[in-house]
Structure 1
């Protein structure tokens, strides 16, 4: 019995020893080699000899400390990386049966990256690379609780007007990537759904290389979201709510502002799982002042119809997301994601019109009437999609990635347009109902290969994209009208887009020179079928898209770069739809099934400088636009303008953008960005078979900046302003637009809990904030509208994090539906 007990005890003790050996911890502390300040978020990984994938890893905490648990005994290579620092490799790390403490490990600033780091031992707010600028989202405190648009509008090249339209270097067309994946969506729609709190950083790719889709004449905006970085469970929860504006516009309803978003990530061994969800209600109160006239040269009359009244928005969205990644071994990784959501927007325009018709020569009054127009435009959509990716890493460290994404959406809504007697608004003059439904199906499949070749890397790939949309559009008028072309206001459409592409590019570095160059070939087909037209509208395109980028490091502090890229701005199905929609009492909107895409040549030349307190860059750029797509006005009837999407000749744009991120003293950080450009558009075109001459040329600029004051370790204050000057359009100009904001933030629980009070659209009765005048004109019409939105809005944002978030969250987003919403 004693022998048996001894054997059992020895077996039990050996088991404990083996188990302990399998759970040995490797720990240490990462600091800046110059300032000795701890470095947070440094990536620490253990590799076995000859293997490309790490066997274990973690990131450093706020004090620079890291711990890698469950490490089996053996010989390893330890690699520590952090943006702006030289990668440190310890080639022979021996792990035994006891915990291994590597002590304090200093990281030295990178010679090539030094110019890209704003402040040592602090996350860089601005980085300049060969083909892009990178901006830390955390530096824009006033965006917290908002959406991705609130982050984007702070970038030097980006401007957002009163309608929410986003421009990059003066161009409304640009491509959106989410964590490097294409989002073929209307930027305003998709970015408004992404919480600012979930964004880690934003990359502005102004001269994209051939490996990217060529979509978007303004370049590419890549949004990189946060994700749990360490093993275990990571949780973040954000709550936000706001009060009505201090300015009352006598709208029918008070705006509601509240929401929440949460993300949970689990990372353990080979598994990496994330689940997220959000609900946001973000209404907007406002007012509109308009003045319009049309001329009838045949009857020699002029009709004026000024209007004033409410223009408000009800908006909400909710969504659930999930993603999972499984690293089967060091050479194979499988990931999948799913998204399901609902979006809703209702725009109410309750306007009082005073219509007069007068003699064009003598201005003698012929007739006069006053009526009330209530116009409700509603858009809704349900979105369901999923993606599956597989990556294989070969023994020679080359990689092959296969990706598939599928989407099915249901978009529906319409416009209710009521013309009512005034002041007795119970009597209806005319009621027009424009309902529609537009289901969408889309699929994207791609294959990408990467291999180290010579002194650089060769990347190649092929891709297939398909989307189809069926549209049903109705038009009901009460009482019935004798409108001669009423049949064209209802019907159905079927649009199909197929795109086949292949690319190859090579990138590398030779001394102080970085370079990449490539070529993409694309064959695209587009077919639009209309219920009232037996002949399909077909477009076949075969195009090459070359790209090239150079970056030369003059010194450790100075860098030069140059780039070229050919791009395409594709047509949306809405722009192709010729069935008119009664968007307002005074407007009809319709597309053109034969509309051509824009083709754009982009070129840029830039310089950047890093100094002790921060970084600076300046870039000259040029765009030549063939077939620019514009929404142009013409006269449909005395009191109705026809807004038609058409190709407006040609255009060119050149400008200068610049940005600086500086910390003059420890407690004060200043960020400032500006963009100055000249835009020219001209052409002799036809709008609905009527000849029109387009000619406009003018300068415009935008300024975005913020100043952050760190009062102590837990209190901070930020002041922020976005200003857009007046700018030319194809048929007029958009007025200037100013939005100032401020935020006060308090950190609690060692930074895990953060409470921020935001003062949005600061006006104080004197700044003229959050309003913009839009003016268009032609030989037979003139229209100017002043859009006035609420000011002095207070928002409260509460954020709680359990463990650290970093890196990117690979949750899928809408490929096509967002664009058509």
Structure 2
């Protein structure tokens, strides 16, 4: 009996980021701009990754299973220099470790599938979150990174079911997620009126929850999707020699509905909501975004008029708005309400000269997707 489908491969990645940051302040007496050394720096990040993987997949009757392992070797060199010639430090970090994955599925019926998945992955931090030289975010905050920040190692276990009837579908997934070396935005005191905002490891984050989604075709012209997620989130660890112990329930839901009013006129409404959630030193408030899209086509679909109303607010809601609060008892308390653009009206008119489909396929780069 064949063992199944066996895959193996190797991947090589190299990243080099060079930064040269000059901060200058105008001298009102001389009228010249002078270097501010505490904000100016040179950074050079070199990251070399070798990884190899092997994956086995097989199907037996109603069962489908797979297992794999990826072994990764990473070497990270981060050189930091100041502009006065007094600092020249090389921060080095490397590891070689395996990342395991596995999946198991059972097709109980034609319209019912059960599954169980396990995966391990790594999330590496960007150069911005590693540069310890501060930059002035605004009058009350200096923002900086941690040159010793460690990558996040993530373990995830999930299991659930997917069922279908006619064109409709429903899924439910229970999951457990654990993040080692969790990176959070934290604060320390710079002086009486200014805080240091730092991106650093704060410990371990754990989530256990349940996610559900339902896609319904209410008629030939009307379909809708409603999904929700509720989980308990906890952070345990330490930062700046202080314990971190935060926990709370978090929930979110997504609603999407679209109607084909005529063969050439359609509309879609979307609403995404995320509840408040704890951080290592405080809380990020709820956040939601309603939007509406109306599409009209002419000339056999060649001419398209598209209207978008993003972040619907009308002065009645608090769309695209979030309050971020951090504090340390008897040391500092800061809260900022970030209000982004609302009621954005976008009108787009396009004409397709050649209606043939573009079959070109492009490979997405991880560097373009995540590094910047």
Q: If the length of structure 1 is used for normalisation, what is the TM-score?
A: 0.42
Larger displacement relative to structure 2 (559-568 or 779-788): 779-788
Q: Could you say what secondary structure the match of 1:594 adopts?
A: coil
How far off is 1:605 after superposition? Answer: 0.4
Shift of 1:712: 2.1
Answering whether residue 24 of structure 2 is matched by residue 476 of structure 1, we say: yes
2:287 is aligned, of 732, 737, 749, to: 737
* Aligned pairs for 1:86-235 within 5 A: none
Match of 1:676 in 2: 230
Contact 1:473 1:579 survives alignment (8 Å): no
Q: 1:792 to 1:571 in 2, by over 3 A?
A: closer
1:527 equivalenced with 2:80 (yes/no): no
- Which runs of structure 2 are paired with 1:62-77 in the superposition (5 Å)? none
The yes-or-no answer on 1:727 pairing with 2:282 is: no
1:625 matched to 2:176? The reply is no
> Which SS does the other structure have where 1:454 is aligned?
coil
2:347 match: 796
Equivalent in 607, 619, 624 of residue 161 of structure 2: 607
Tell me the equivalent position of 1:378: none
CA displacement at 1:522 relative to structure 2: 1.0
Indicate which of 5, 8, 20 corresponds to 1:460: 8
Q: Counterparts in 2 of 1:332-481, with a 5 A limit?
A: 454=2, 456-479=4-27
Matched residue SS, 2:102: strand
* Cα gap change, 1:487 to 1:793, in 2 (>3 Å): closer
Distance 1:479 1:820, change over 3 A: farther
Q: How much has 1:815 moved relative to structure 2?
A: 4.7
In structure 1, the partner of 2:188 is 634
- The structure richer in strand per residue is 2
The partner residue of 1:785 within 336, 344, 347 is: 336
Alpha-carbon distance in 2 for matches of 1:510, 1:794: 53
Q: Which 10-residue stretch deviates more, 582-591 or 786-795?
A: 786-795
Q: CA separation in 2, counterparts of 1:523 and 1:792?
A: 48
Distance, in Å, in 2 between the alignment partners of 1:635 and 1:786 is: 20
Task: Give the drift of 1:652.
Answer: 0.6
Counterparts of 1:567 and 1:536, CA distance in 2: 27
* Residue 656 (structure 1) aligned to one of 186, 201, 210: 210
2:44 to 494, 501, 517: 494
Moved more, 504-513 or 729-738: 729-738
- Match 1:716 to one of 251, 266, 286: 266
Distance 1:703 1:806 in 2: 34
Note closer, same or farther for the CA distance 1:720–1:571 as it changes in structure 2 (3 Å cut). Answer: closer
CA deviation after TM superposition for structure 1 residue 811, in Å: 3.4
- Determine which of 754, 758, 762 is the counterpart of 2:312: 762
Equivalence for 2:129 = 575
Q: For the Cα contact (< 8 Å) 1:624–1:653, is it kept in 2?
A: yes
> SS in structure 2 opposite 1:595?
coil
CA-to-partner distance for each residue in 1:8-31, whole Å, 9 max, x for gaps? xxxxxxxxxxxxxxxxxxxxxxxx
- Please report how far the alpha carbon of residue 649 of structure 1 lies from its aligned counterpart in structure 2 after TM superposition: 1.5
Q: Aligned residue for 2:31?
A: none
Aligned positions of 1:270-289 closer than 5 A = none
Output the CA distance in 2 between the equivalents of 1:792 and 1:529: 45
Task: Write out aligned runs for 1:546-585 (5 A).
Answer: 546-585=100-139
Greater C-alpha Rg: 1
Q: How does 1:692-707 map to 2 (within 5 A)?
A: 692-707=242-257
Q: Distance in 2 between matches of 1:685 and 1:544?
A: 28
Give me the whole-angstrom Cα distance separating, in 1, the residues matched to 2:314 and 2:199: 39
Alignment match, 1:542 = 96
User: In the alignment, what sits opposite 1:589?
Assistant: 143
Q: 1:759: how far off?
A: 2.0
**After the TM superposition, which parts of structure 1 deviate over 6 Å for at least 4 consecutive aligned residues?**
none
Deviation at 1:799?
Answer: 3.7
- Contact in 2 for aligned 1:574/1:820 (Cα 8 Å): no
| Distance in 1 between residues matched to 2:207 and 2:262, nearest whole Å | 45
Q: Secondary structure at the match of 1:647?
A: strand
Q: Alpha carbons of 1:818 and 1:474: their partners in 2 closer, same or farther (altered >3 Å)? A: farther
Question: Over residues 194-225 of structure 1, what are the superposed CA-to-partner deviations in whole Å (9 max), with x where a residue is unaligned?
Answer: xxxxxxxxxxxxxxxxxxxxxxxxxxxxxxxx
Say whether 1:616 aligns with 2:167.
no
Distance 1:740 1:473 in 2: 39
Determine if contact 1:455/1:509 at 8 Å carries over to the other structure. Answer: no
Deviation by residue 1:627-669 (Cα, 9 ceiling, x = unmatched)? 1111211110111110112110211111211211111222211
CA-to-partner distance for each residue in 1:598-629, whole Å, 9 max, x for gaps? 11111100111000131111111111111111
Compare the two structures and name the one with the higher helix fraction.
1
Q: Which residue in the other structure is 1:811 paired with?
A: 362
SS of equivalent to 1:523? strand
Distance in structure 2 (CA, Å) of the matches to 1:465 and 1:477: 39
Offset at residue 819 of structure 1 (A): 4.4
Which of the pair has the greater relative contact order for Cα pairs under 8 Å at 6+ separation? 1
The 1:818–1:715 alpha-carbon spacing in structure 2 relative to 1, beyond 3 Å, is closer
The total of aligned residue pairs comes to: 359
CA RMSD of aligned residues (A): 2.1
Which residue, 206, 219, 224 being the options, matches 1:665? 219
TM-score by length of 2: 0.90
Q: Structure 1 residues 758 and 475 mapped into 2: Cα distance closer, same or farther (>3 Å)?
A: closer
Give the SS at the match of 1:816: helix
Counterpart of 2:300 in 1: which secondary structure? helix
Whole-Å Cα distance in 1 between the matches of residues 62 and 364 of structure 2? 39
User: In structure 1, how many angstroms separate the alpha carbons of the residues matched to 2:110 and 2:368?
Assistant: 46
Distance in 2, Cα, partners of 1:546 & 1:584: 43
* Counterpart-to-counterpart distance in 2, 1:798 and 1:512: 49
Write the distance in 1 (CA, Å) between the matches of 2:316 and 2:143.
Answer: 36
Whole-Å Cα distance in 2 between the matches of residues 456 and 685 of structure 1? 48
Query: Is contact 1:613-1:664 (8 Å) kept?
Result: no
> Using the alignment, how far apart are the partners of 1:624 and 1:630 within structure 2?
15
